Structure 1
Amino acid sequence: MRTRRTTAAATALTAAVALLLSGCGGSGAADAKDTKDGDRIAGADAGTETGSATPSASAADDGIERPEIKLPSDVRNVFEGGATGDAKKDAVLADNERRINSIDEAITVDAKKYPALQFYSKGDALMSAASYIKSFRDEARSFTGTTRYYDREVTFLKDGAASVTYCMDATQTYPKDRGTGKVDRSVKASPSDYVFYSTRLEKNSEGVWQTATVSSTEAAEQCM
């Protein structure tokens, strides 16, 4: 129902970032996520409900002043796996979740600014996220439903960065018209709703694990 589009010209990406980070607001209902056949949109981040989310993803006690992220009540993300038992890995997964939620917030919530977007993303990952978000605004689309994230794994790299891989199941999400709020539940699920992600996260001076790069594979067999 939703596919993440990450390719675009450099000028378009720069314009998208400038628009979103300077405050584009928007009008109407929530914006949507990408979709299969251009119609179905999957919701990446959920409101405050995150299923079996890493505990620190919803409430951090690490002393970092984090921007609040609020999603519509009809958008829910379920992050499976829970805590790993390794505090460092849990911190990485928590910021990965927050990054996903920040993108969905920018898509589904009208606001003047989206501070969480650049708080948890940088570089190529920030540019691609902004372009992806703008594509929904340009088409006056939004989404509703539940998106599941699973098979999440963290690997620490020699240069101090971390790699996070995970699967996304967007079969329970539906496109929503941004202006009217009408939901199209006639769109059927397809293999493209199963996406495999590989991301690189780098810890900044504040202690936040920011996503720097993202690659994805739609219709990923390992996620079905």
Structure 2
Amino acid sequence: MNRPARLVTAALTASAALLLTACGSGGGDGSSSSDKIAGADSGDKASASPSVSTSADGIDRPAVKLPSDMKMVFEGRQTGDAVKDAILADNERTVSTVWQAMAYGDLKKSGMAFYYTDNALVGIYQYAKGAIDKKTSWAGTLRYFDRQVTVFDKKSAALTYCVDESKADLKDRETNKLQGTKTTPNSYVFYNLGLKKNKEGVWQTWDLTEDRGSQKCQP
């Protein structure tokens, strides 16, 4: 396995099986419950981090800060539709919590339990824990593009997008050494997410699938 995001991106099938076997970081079978997950207390507003900040929408959110060598570029942030823009903004926060956990090796203060729920939370937790146990992170830039939101009703939606991993690389969290990779068709990944709005107003990811090397995302 020599592509960074085969380890640094979490992927769930519809049955919540984590697609990380190539990296040997373990997977989830969906049988675990969120009460065994660090940072997932109870209720819709799990206390994922003691450090929170109030955003423009009045929601107290876990603070997320990534190291300077871990960058993300999100295209198409403004659609002109307030609901879709809120979904896209929460998605940016959602993926950032996973990278924060990996960067600092801390599940409890990552914020993942604030933005992930149900099968997705179980899979993401197991994925992040596996990476942290291996002291693995990443550096470089991930580009999120062609983000498309479908709103079903006031509390449910779907989001699809592509990720360009060609400028990201695996990093040993202890030595800070990079692995070095080549760009291949598998450097481009298509994601499909199921979302629902909780009582706090947060658009949480409850399910996700990936298609690595998808023709939809090739340059």
Q: Larger deviation: 97-106 or 158-167?
A: 158-167
Scaled by the length of structure 2, the TM-score of the pair is 0.78
Contact 1:193 1:219 (8 Å CA) reproduced = yes
User: Greater strand percent: which structure?
Assistant: 2
The one-letter amino acid paired with 1:223 is: C
How many residues align structurally? 187
- Picking from 115, 122, 128, the partner of 2:123 is 128
Q: Larger deviation: 150-159 or 203-212?
A: 150-159
Could you tell me which runs of 5 or more consecutive residues in structure 1 were left unpaired when the two chains were aligned: 23-57
Q: Determine helix, strand or coil for the equivalent of 1:145.
A: strand
Scaled by the length of structure 1, the TM-score of the pair is 0.76
Once the 2 structures are TM-superposed, how far is the Cα of residue 205 of structure 1 from its aligned partner?
Answer: 0.5
State the alpha-carbon separation in 2 of the partners of residues 93 and 181 from structure 1: 31
User: Greater helix percent: which structure?
Assistant: 1
Correspondence for 2:36? 18
Q: Determine helix, strand or coil for the equivalent of 2:191.
A: strand
Once the 2 structures are TM-superposed, how far is the Cα of residue 110 of structure 1 from its aligned partner?
Answer: 3.5
- Picking from 186, 193, 201, the partner of 2:187 is 193
Between 1 and 2, higher relative CO (CA 8 Å, sep ≥ 6) is seen in 1
Once the 2 structures are TM-superposed, how far is the Cα of residue 20 of structure 1 from its aligned partner?
Answer: 3.9
1:216 and 2:210 matched: yes
State the alpha-carbon separation in 1 of the partners of residues 33 and 202 from structure 2: 26
Work out the percentage of aligned pairs sharing the same amino acid.
39
Contact 1:163 1:200 (8 Å CA) reproduced = yes
Equivalence map 1:128-147=2 (5 Å): 128-147=123-142
Equivalence map 1:1-40=2 (5 Å): 1=3, 2-3=5-6, 4=9, 5-6=11-12, 7=18, 8-10=27-29, 14=32, 18=36, 20-21=38-39
Aligned-pair RMSD on alpha carbons?
A: 2.4
- In 2 relative to 1, CA 17–101 (structure 1 residues): closer, same or farther, beyond 3 Å? farther
Cα deviation, 1:88-118, whole Å, max 9, x if unaligned, reads 1100111111101011111112347225211
State the alpha-carbon separation in 1 of the partners of residues 183 and 54 from structure 2: 33
